[in-house]
Amino acid sequence: MYIVATFEQSLLLELALSELEEKGIQRDHILAVPLKISSNKGKIMDTIYGADGISLFDGATVLGSASMVLGVIYGYVLAWGPIIWGLIGLMTGLVVGFILDLAVRNKKKNMVKQRQMSL
């Protein structure tokens, strides 16, 4: 019979493992595998050969495309026309999307640090 559980590395885990050994479970019947948190910084853009799923360009392209479409649509009634407003919407969406991706990534990183500090 196998019993599988996940725990973060801590002193309490070490104490629990030593208590299991004291209860009569042999050391070779206990397997403790540390769970590593990925420390990848992420790249601005993934390649087809090295995609890690942590790209800062994904959200920026989605928001850039959406705001470009809105710029083109409303550009027909605005003074500079649909092409200029489409380009303005594209640049604005790319910048805002990139900043939002950075903010979300920093928030996740801070949450992981606080969680590790609380243990």
Quote the distance between the C-alpha of residue 10 and its chain's center: 24
Quote the distance between the C-alpha of residue 12 and its chain's center: 28
Is residue 15 domain-shared with residue 45, that is, in the same domain?
Answer: no
Residue-level pLDDT at 37: 62
Is residue 53 domain-shared with residue 29, that is, in the same domain?
Answer: no
Q: What is the domain extent for residue 27?
A: 1-36
pLDDT digits (tens, 9 = 90+) for 17-42: 889 889 988 888 888 777 766 555 65
Span 102-119, mean pLDDT? 78
pLDDT digits (tens, 9 = 90+) for 53-65: 667 778 888 999 9
Interacting residues of 116 by C-beta distance below 8 A, sequence separation 6+: 8
Whether 81 shows a pLDDT value over 70: the answer reads: yes
Residue-level pLDDT at 32: 78
Higher-pLDDT residue of 14 and 51 is: 14
Is residue 46 domain-shared with residue 88, that is, in the same domain?
Answer: yes
Is residue 8 domain-shared with residue 48, that is, in the same domain?
Answer: no
Residue 6 CA to residue 116 CA, distance in Å, equals 15
Residue-level pLDDT at 5: 74
**Alpha-carbon dihedral 26, 27, 31, 36, rounded to 10 degrees:** 150
Residue 105 CA to residue 42 CA, distance in Å, equals 10
Residue 55's DSSP bridge partners are 43
Tokens 């809105």, residue?
Answer: 70
Is residue 47 domain-shared with residue 84, that is, in the same domain?
Answer: yes
